């Protein structure tokens, strides 16, 4: 299970780099505020966030405040990412 943020495309990757930096800052603030460690990994134009405990995904979903459209997320529970 992980949380996925999609980064913007275009501008030769500059938009994604800026969004990735701002998202990193916001995720670090959230982690410090709630005392919940997280791991993040950038894969192409997506940022994946994982937690050690599955209950933190629900907590994240209820406390995350999206400042921009690229701060919107989805929770991926099927690691094969199949759409049934």
In this prediction, residue 78 carries a pLDDT of 73
Is the sign of the CA dihedral 48, 53, 57, 63 positive or negative? negative
Per-residue model confidence as pLDDT tens digits over 43-71: 989 999 999 999 999 999 999 986 666 67
DSSP string, 14-32: HHHHHHHHHHHHHHHHHHH
Nearest CA-CA partner of 49 in 73, 79, 18, 78: 73
Structural class in CATH, domain 2-76: alpha beta
* pTM of structure: 0.83
Q: Where are the domains of the chain?
A: 2-76
């Amino acid at each position: 299970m992980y949380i996925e943020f999609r980064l913007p495309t275009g501008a030769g990757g500059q938009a994604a780099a800026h969004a990735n930096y701002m998202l990193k800052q916001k995720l670090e603030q959230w982690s410090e505020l709630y005392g919940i460690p997280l791991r993040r990994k950038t894969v192409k134009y997506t940022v994946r966030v994982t937690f050690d405990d599955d209950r933190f995904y629900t907590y994240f979903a209820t406390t995350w405040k999206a400042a921009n459209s690229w701060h919107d997320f989805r929770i991926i529970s099927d690691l094969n990412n199949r759409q049934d």
